[in-house]
Structure 1
């Protein structure tokens, strides 16, 4: 089994250096790497070239069109039986390809995804953000959890697609705003088998500040409505949870002014919720600092996603504008 690892890149030379350094240590060696520079002004060609004697690696530069179409560019030039997609801000465990290869031999999948986790080298903020994106009390653990709700949809930070699926379905038709979910739904609708490989984790750095995290999650909330516009049946009740939570917190603040006696009950529930997050994060990360920051990151995860979701729900669903 031969893998083609495809990495879209935009103005992140340091990230690709760290990612490629982890690929050098893979225990399974039947793979190539394609780095697609998507119109960057700060390119990484010299960094990629420095790995030429350690990896079967190719560097391409194209005009900026977004990450989905950069991946398509890589698909068209790949030689592998499977195309493996990573975001540039990931670190890959040494046994990743070995794990995927062994799993696919035993349980055939035409497309797969894997979970993400926080690496020990991550900052406290990065670990808190990772917690907020994987916790059962925020995302419901649906991003790479064995007990995910409904059909599992691989996410493009850690995703694989067979050559056969690509040849029939084609590549991404969206370049951003939920492009990975749309693609996996289309793969499934064409009769291909999709699943989670629980042990095929990557260490996903995501964002390095809460401001960047807010912007990213607001975008994710809007992306869910974009998926709905293509596939209405894919909008589930669980996707409304951040919006409901956001409205609940806004209502709680308002109630403190309008009717304080009722606000005491609501305040207690909000405090208990975030205390639950604090103690759960503490048990997971073994760090009081990360546990405290997890309260902030979880608040941002819920409200940023919720506000982005409500913004485009009102605009594109209620008022039916583009």
Structure 2
């Protein structure tokens, strides 16, 4: 099988250098790389050029349209039997393509997704963010999990589709704000077989500080309502969990001011949740420091998503504004 790896890029030259370096180490060699610069001011032309002798690589420059339509640009120019899309802030294990090729031979899929993990080189904050995005005690527990709730929806930081999917389903119709979830649902609706390849992990750096992380997750909460506008049936009870958590935190604060009896119960539940996250992260990361940062990251993840979700639920669902 010949793979086409498609990477949209926007003002992140250093990230693409690290990603491309990991691709030079792949044990499976039948692939090409398409890097599409999406109207960047800080471009990666020289960096990509430096890999010309190491990879079968092509570099394109286009006006800014967002990652969804930029991936479509890559699909249109790809030669592969299978298209794989990565975010530019990913590092790829050297056996990734070998794992995917073997898995697709053993269990053919029209589209797949893989999980993300923390790399040893990540900063403590990045490791904490990675924990919060994969933890069973946050909404991360339903991502990249074959035991997840409902249909499995590949996410665009680590996602593959066959050429047949591209020819029948077309590409992304949303360029931002939940574009990968909408695409996954549409692929499902056309009868294609989609699945998780648990071993096809990538190391996803995400954001480097908590403020950037908050902004990203707040956007994700809003994006869920955007997907709802296309597929109302895809808004599940689990998607309300961060909003419920956020409101519960507010209720706990109010209870501590006005009524100690209710506050005692609320504080006990909150303390239990804190201890679960802290010790689970400590065991997983073997670091008390990362465990403490994981508490911060998990609370940011849940409240940022919850606030973004509630903001657009009120605006677009209750008030029916565009």
User: TM-score band, normalised by the shorter chain?
Assistant: over 0.9
Give the structure 2 partner of residue 25 of structure 1: 25
Distance 1:133 1:74 in 2: 28
- Confirm or deny: 8 A CA contact 2:172 2:183 kept in the other structure: yes
Give the deviation of 1:146 after TM superposition.
2.3
Cα distance between partner residues in 2 of 1:311 and 1:290: 31
Residue 106 of structure 1 pairs with residue 106 of structure 2: yes
User: In the aligned structure 2, how far is the partner of 1:121 from the partner of 1:140?
Assistant: 21
Once the two structures are TM-superposed, the CA of residue 272 in structure 1 deviates from its matched residue by: 1.2
Q: How does 1:160-199 map to 2 (within 5 A)?
A: 160-199=160-199
Q: Distance in 1 between matches of 2:154 and 2:190?
A: 16
SS at match of 1:84: strand
CA RMSD between the two structures: 0.6
For residues 101 and 162 of structure 1, the distance between their equivalents in structure 2, rounded to whole angstroms, comes to 12
SS in 2 for 1:141: helix
Structure 2 partner of 1:239? 239
CA distance in 2, matches of 1:22, 1:210: 26
**1:64 equivalent in structure 2:** 64
Partner residue in 2 for 1:92: 92
Measured after TM superposition, the shift of residue 143 of structure 1 is 1.1
Distance 2:274 2:36 in 1: 41
Q: How does 1:1-322 map to 2 (within 5 A)?
A: 1-139=1-139, 141-322=141-322
Deviates more, 1:252-261 or 1:184-193: 252-261
Aligned residues, how many? 322
Q: Provide the C-alpha distance between the structure 2 equivalents of 1:209 and 1:68, rounded to a whole number of angstroms.
A: 25
Change in CA separation of 1:88 and 1:140 when aligned onto 2, cut-off 3 Å? closer
User: What's the offset of the Cα at 1:258?
Assistant: 1.8
CA contact (8 A) 2:132 2:140 kept: no
Unpaired runs of 5+ residues, structure 1, are none
What TM-score does the superposition give when structure 1 sets the normalisation length? 0.99
**CA offsets per residue over residues 255-303 of structure 1, 9 Å max, x none?**
1112122112101111110111000000101111100000000000000
Scaled by the length of structure 2, the TM-score of the pair is 0.99
Range that drifts further, 262-271 or 210-219: 262-271
1:63-122 Cα deviation digits (max 9, x unpaired)? 000000000000000000011000000000000000000000111111100000000000
